[in-house]
Amino acid sequence: MSQFTEFLMQRDLFDASHNEKIKLNDGAYLLKAYALPFEATLMKSLMAITTDAPFRHMLTPGGRKMSVAMSNCGSGGWITDKKGYRYDHLDPLTEKAWPAMPSDFFSLAQKAAEEAGFSDFSPNSCLINCYEPGAKMALHQDKDEGDFSHPIVSISLGLTAKFLFGGLSRKDKAKRVLLSHGDVVVWGGVSRLAYHGIDKLKDGVHEVTGPFRYNLTFRSAQTIDHLG
């Protein structure tokens, strides 16, 4: 066994919050460190996807550049530009189809959904977010998927971020939870349309991702199946 593997195992053993399942809300579960055993394959797949479909800062419909850089994989990808928020089969940067969803991504998302009580989750899209220190995501709802009966699964990699989760109204007071490397969150049922966001990322360097935080969000978007 390499010294690095040994180091990773020791680190995992001493993490007290390893493998806990924390209920954040009805339908919303935080699976602490659930993706940690898959960090190497997830990072390898992420790098392959973003070689073909590079991270880019998209424009909001209001014309502002997002601080989070994004890419996608799957049969459709979430995009935003001056024309609005939507899913599309094609990457507007390369004008090619988004890279296929790797099987390690799909399997892990499906397994995590199952763990949170959502059987048969079959995501057709994964939005990949890249945060550098200073990047943030304002409070919003994910509602471009057309069908809210499916959960959303999110996997965090790299630097720790402060996640904000509110209620079904923008005015509901937001709770806060830290999302660390390997954490998985499943949002379904009454939590599917909850307002959520990410606080400004703090400076730092992570042993696996360097000066970045990555987030994979898996969606089953009916709007993709209905594209021309």
Which spans of this chain sit near ligand MD3 (rule: CB under 6 A)? Answer: 127, 129, 137, 142, 152, 154, 185, 187, 191-192, 194, 196, 198, 215, 217
| Subset of 126-165 contacting Fe ion (CB under 5 A) | 142
| 91: partner contacted, choices ligand MD3, Fe ion, none (Cβ within 5-8 A by kind) | none
> What is the SS3 string spanning 160-215?
CEEEEECCCCCCCCCEEEEECCCCEEEECHHHCCCCEEECCCCCCCECCCECCEEE
| 150: partner contacted, choices Fe ion, ligand MD3, none (Cβ within 5-8 A by kind) | none
| 109: partner contacted, choices ligand MD3, Fe ion, none (Cβ within 5-8 A by kind) | none
| Subset of 167-206 contacting Fe ion (CB under 5 A) | none
Between 106 and 187, whose beta carbon lies closer to ligand MD3?
A: 187
Between 32 and 192, whose beta carbon lies closer to ligand MD3?
A: 192
Would you state the structure tokens that stand for residue 144, as one six-digit string? 């471009």
- Cα(216)–Cα(125) distance, integer angstroms: 10
